[in-house]
């Protein structure tokens, strides 16, 4: 039985008359695929049918890239091949060379769909690649109804819009990773590893307009905000960066990620990579705790899919209580110290 047959039977398919494949633009870190790339693979597997295969594109340089490729090849039974672009051009996550790479892959592969996670990387690369390919991307997809019909939120998540893509190939999508959780693999679901192919980059067009200067990242022991199971968020009510440490202490005790409202970020209490909301990160943890957050629609847009929402606010009429499963009308400067005292040490 060939891998292609396995794919045809492995997953629910969405009919597509074309004999074409789907390309997933993937990111890797420390020799493994990122959690968001696994979600992209999950979304892309919805396009699989007997005539459609799934290719995963990785780029970078050196041993960690090859390690990530080997891990990616056996991480999901739907993956038919891993394409590896090994070059110094991809040493840093610059959008321009990446967009040209996607353009090149489309010329080589004629994919029906190209999928990437809707994070800062995907939002940076996909529109550029779409412009090079002269197609319109469909962004922030939360549901794949048919091969060319998708659901995406509009008006800060207050309405859902069904979109039919009528343009030419490829149909390019960014997906909301929280809507495509990765099912844990059953013991016998792992078949033999997919083949790994090195991409011939000799025809890659150079882009002389951009150069890498530096990357500033925050080192943190805490879980990643986008994929954490528990998120503790603080709002403007914290009043200062010093006070915001209360939120950080609580997060530490609960093994949680820290989030913030835009008001807290704009006031300089924390850096903007912690912002949750329409113009920040979209999160959907098992538990979301909001302290001193009013619940503006732009904030709700980023956390409304959390499984359990807990809100602490001293105003009983604060809109956050409309989406909260548990609400406490109280002063966070009393509630958090009490929680810190009563919660057991890790
Ligand atoms: P506030 O609205 O000022 O609320 C503070 C809350 O704390 C109040 O409800 C108050 O009752 C309560 N409080 C005060 N003191 C205490 C205390 N001691 N104990 C307990 N409770 C207390 N916002 C985001 O968060 N994310 C986004 O991505 C985002 N994108 C935006 C995009 C656009 C285009 C626009 C226009 C706005 C956006 N905003 C975003 C901003 C948003 O509209 C709100 O201004 C912001 O979310 C408010 O933050 P906040 O809840 O911390 O502050």
DSSP calls for 199-257: ---TTPPP--S-----------SSPPTTT-SEEEEE-GGG-SHHHHHHHHHHHHHHT-E
Atom of ligand 1 at shortest distance to CA of 260?
Answer: 25
Task: Please give, one letter per residue, the 3-state secondary structure of 244-287.
Answer: HHHHHHHHHHHCCEEEECHHHHHCCCCCHHHEECCCCECCCCCE
Q: What are the pocket residues of ligand 1 if the criterion is a CB atom closer than 6 Å to any ligand atom?
A: 235-237, 261-264, 275-280, 292-294, 296, 298-299, 302, 312-315, 318, 331-333
Query: Nearest CA to 173 among 18, 25, 21, 33?
Result: 25
pTM: 0.82
The most confident of the ranges 212-216, 232-236, 342-346 is: 232-236
**Residues 84-99: tens digit of each pLDDT:** 999 999 998 899 999 9
**Residues 39-94: tens digit of each pLDDT:** 999 999 988 776 678 999 999 999 999 999 998 888 877 889 999 999 999 998 89
Report which protein residue has its CA nearest ligand 1's atom 17. Answer: 331
Residue 296 annotated as part of some ligand binding site: yes
Rounded to the nearest angstrom, the distance between the alpha carbon of 164 and the centre of ligand 1 is 35
In the structure, what pLDDT confidence band is assigned to residue 9 with cuts at 50, 70 and 90?
very low
Rounded to the nearest angstrom, the distance between the alpha carbon of 268 and the centre of ligand 1 is 14
Rounded to the nearest angstrom, the distance between the alpha carbon of 338 and the centre of ligand 1 is 23
Ligand 1 pocket mutation, candidates 240, 282, 296, criterion most atoms within 8 A of CB = 296
Alpha-carbon distance of 8 to 14, in angstroms, equals 11
- In this predicted structure, the answer to whether residue 188 has a pLDDT above a threshold of 70 is no
Atom of ligand 1 at shortest distance to CA of 239?
Answer: 15
In the structure, what pLDDT confidence band is assigned to residue 15 with cuts at 50, 70 and 90?
very low
Across 189-208, average pLDDT: 82
Q: Which residues of 173-211 are buried (b: 16+ CB within 10 A; e: fewer)?
A: bbbbbbbbebeeeeeeeeeebbebeebebeebeebeeee
Across 173-199, average pLDDT: 79
Helix axes 120-133, 95-109, angle to 10 degrees: 50
């Amino acid at each position: 039985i060939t891998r292609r047959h396995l794919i045809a039977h492995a997953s629910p398919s969405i009919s597509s008359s074309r004999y074409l494949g789907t390309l997933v633009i993937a990111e890797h870190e420390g020799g493994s695929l990122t959690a968001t790339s696994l979600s992209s693979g999950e979304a892309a597997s919805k396009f699989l049918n007997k005539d459609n295969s799934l290719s995963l594109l990785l780029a970078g340089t050196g041993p960690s890239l090859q390690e990530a490729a080997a891990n990616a090849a056996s991480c999901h039974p739907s993956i038919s091949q891993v394409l590896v672009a090994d070059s110094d051009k991809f040493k840093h996550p610059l959008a321009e060379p990446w967009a040209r790479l996607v353009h090149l892959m489309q010329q080589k592969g004629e994919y029906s769909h190209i999928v990437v996670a809707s994070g800062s990387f995907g939002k940076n690369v996909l529109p550029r690649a779409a412009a090079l390919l002269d197609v319109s991307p469909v962004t922030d997809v939360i549901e794949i109804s048919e091969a060319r019909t998708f659901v995406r939120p509009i008006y800060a998540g207050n309405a859902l819009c069904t979109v039919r893509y009528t343009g030419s190939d490829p149909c390019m999508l960014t997906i909301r990773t929280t809507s495509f959780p990765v099912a844990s693999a059953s013991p016998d679901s792992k078949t033999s590893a997919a083949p790994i192919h090195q991409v011939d980059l000799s025809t890659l067009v150079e882009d002389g307009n951009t150069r890498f200067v530096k990357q500033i990242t925050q080192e943190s022991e805490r879980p990643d905000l986008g994929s954490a199971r528990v998120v503790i968020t603080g709002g403007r009510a914290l009043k200062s960066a010093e006070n915001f440490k209360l939120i950080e202490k609580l997060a530490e005790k609960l093994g949680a990620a820290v989030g913030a409202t835009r008001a807290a970020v704009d006031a300089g209490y924390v850096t903007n990579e912690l912002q949750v909301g329409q113009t920040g990160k979209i999160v959907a943890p098992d538990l979301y705790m909001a302290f001193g957050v009013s619940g503006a629609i732009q904030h709700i847009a980023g956390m409304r899919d959390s499984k359990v929402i807990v809100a602490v606010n001293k105003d009983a009429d604060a809109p956050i209580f409309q989406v909260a499963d548990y609400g406490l009308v109280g002063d966070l400067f009393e509630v958090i110290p009490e929680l810190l005292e009563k919660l057991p040490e890790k």
